[in-house]
Structure 1
Amino acid sequence: MAILDTKGRLFGKINLLDLGALLVIVLVIFGIFVFPGTSGSVAQVGAKTVPIEVDLVVRGLNVRNPQQLYDKGLKAGGKTNVIIRNQPHGEIAIKSMQPLPRTINVPQPDGSIKELPDPKSNNFSTDMLLTLEGKAQITQNGPVLGNSKVKIGMPFELEGFNYNFNATVIDLRLKDK
């Protein structure tokens, strides 16, 4: 009796293609259960956690009563929910909140430009500077809040009881422990 017959069967009973497919299936199952891979985020491997301050600027937020928003929602010492790249980070502390004056550039007769207060043609638009503080993990690619890298120019979505708006990161400060 030959080991391999004319139809490609081993010892006349088992097809080599079926044997190969069965071997691949067994190896895949073995790989899934014996070597499941690493758990957790890649950003957390070998990273240290340090306090971070993130400055955000909000431009053109339409709100009827900005003072009510400052008093009830966005106040220093309070907390806000942060969403970074559509990934909820959770609550983060508000260190400070500063309304920014609205100004316009006005050309002068001598050709120079002066920055003067806006005459408030739109009373419902406000600008502000927010400073948030929390804990970030430092990786070789930069600071990471939650599972998202934080870099200047990134949009943050801030959400609270009576507000939901976007802001842009303009500065990062890492604090030493």
Structure 2
Amino acid sequence: MKKILDSQGRLLGKLSILDVGAAIVILLVIVGIFFFPGTSGSVAQLGVATRPVEVDVVVRGLSIRNPQELIKQFQTKKKTNIIIRNQPYGQVDIKAVKELPRTVVVPQPDGSVKALPDPRKDTFSTDMVITLTGKAQITNNGPVLGNNKIKVGMPIELEGFDYDFNSSVIDVRIKS
């Protein structure tokens, strides 16, 4: 009768104990991944109310040759794609677009400062506030679009056929 383990550490003289151990570890990992995947990590929850939300985003210093053309495009198409934390959400509606006046801070002789209209005309830079609307899940921690919470200060990327720029959330309103 043969020994189960020979002097070189082989089972029945054919298989190494290390190879058998590695195969068992790989098999356990595969079983763990496919049969017990765990939670998805989503902040969205089942049974959570979905309500319309309006999100105001501000765009500061957008380098563009003709801002009026982009604003006109927003007003005619009324849709844009958004990306939140590098995760594409999809399309949302554009409710309103407002170009903000460019101002410069000018010190006054008495030590105070005033914001006056920027005298430079060809700066190729514009500021605007865009109101986006969509449906969000309302959780205890606030509204959630896709799998991302929407809160003031959060960066959102707007993307369309011929534009792609970042903005920042300045207001979130939950509609009834």
Work out whether 1:54 is the aligned partner of 2:50.
Answer: no
Residue 71 of structure 2: SS of its match in structure 1?
A: helix
Residue 169 of structure 1: SS of its match in structure 2?
A: strand
The aligned counterpart of 2:169 is: 169
Residue 43 of structure 1: SS of its match in structure 2?
A: coil
User: 1:105 and 1:168 mapped to 2: Cα distance?
Assistant: 22
Gaps of 5+ in 1: 1-19
Residues 1:152 and 1:47: Cα distance change in structure 2 (over 3 Å): farther
Residues 1:29 and 1:53: Cα distance change in structure 2 (over 3 Å): same
The aligned counterpart of 2:83 is: 83
The aligned counterpart of 1:139 is: 139
Residue 75 of structure 2: SS of its match in structure 1?
A: coil
Q: How many residues align?
A: 174
The aligned counterpart of 2:67 is: 66
Work out whether 1:151 is the aligned partner of 2:147.
Answer: no
Residues 1:121 and 1:140: Cα distance change in structure 2 (over 3 Å): same
TM-score norm. by structure 1 comes to: 0.77
CA RMSD of aligned residues (A): 3.2
Question: Alignment identity in percent?
Answer: 61
Does the 8 A contact of 1:64 with 1:124 survive in 2? yes
Residue 144 of structure 2: SS of its match in structure 1?
A: strand
User: 1:24 and 1:123 mapped to 2: Cα distance?
Assistant: 63
Q: What's the CA shift for 1:112? A: 2.0
User: 1:33 and 1:105 mapped to 2: Cα distance?
Assistant: 60
**1:103-135 alpha-carbon deviations (Å, 9 max, x no partner):** 111111222222110002543000000000001
User: 2:102 and 2:168 mapped to 1: Cα distance?
Assistant: 18
User: 1:54 and 1:108 mapped to 2: Cα distance?
Assistant: 36
TM-score norm. by structure 2 comes to: 0.77
User: 2:46 and 2:140 mapped to 1: Cα distance?
Assistant: 9
Residues 1:76 and 1:147: Cα distance change in structure 2 (over 3 Å): farther
Counterpart of 1:45 in structure 2: which amino acid?
Answer: Q
Gaps of 5+ in 2: 1-20
Counterpart of 1:54 in structure 2: which amino acid?
Answer: V
Q: What's the CA shift for 1:140? A: 2.0
User: 1:26 and 1:164 mapped to 2: Cα distance?
Assistant: 45
Counterpart of 1:127 in structure 2: which amino acid?
Answer: D
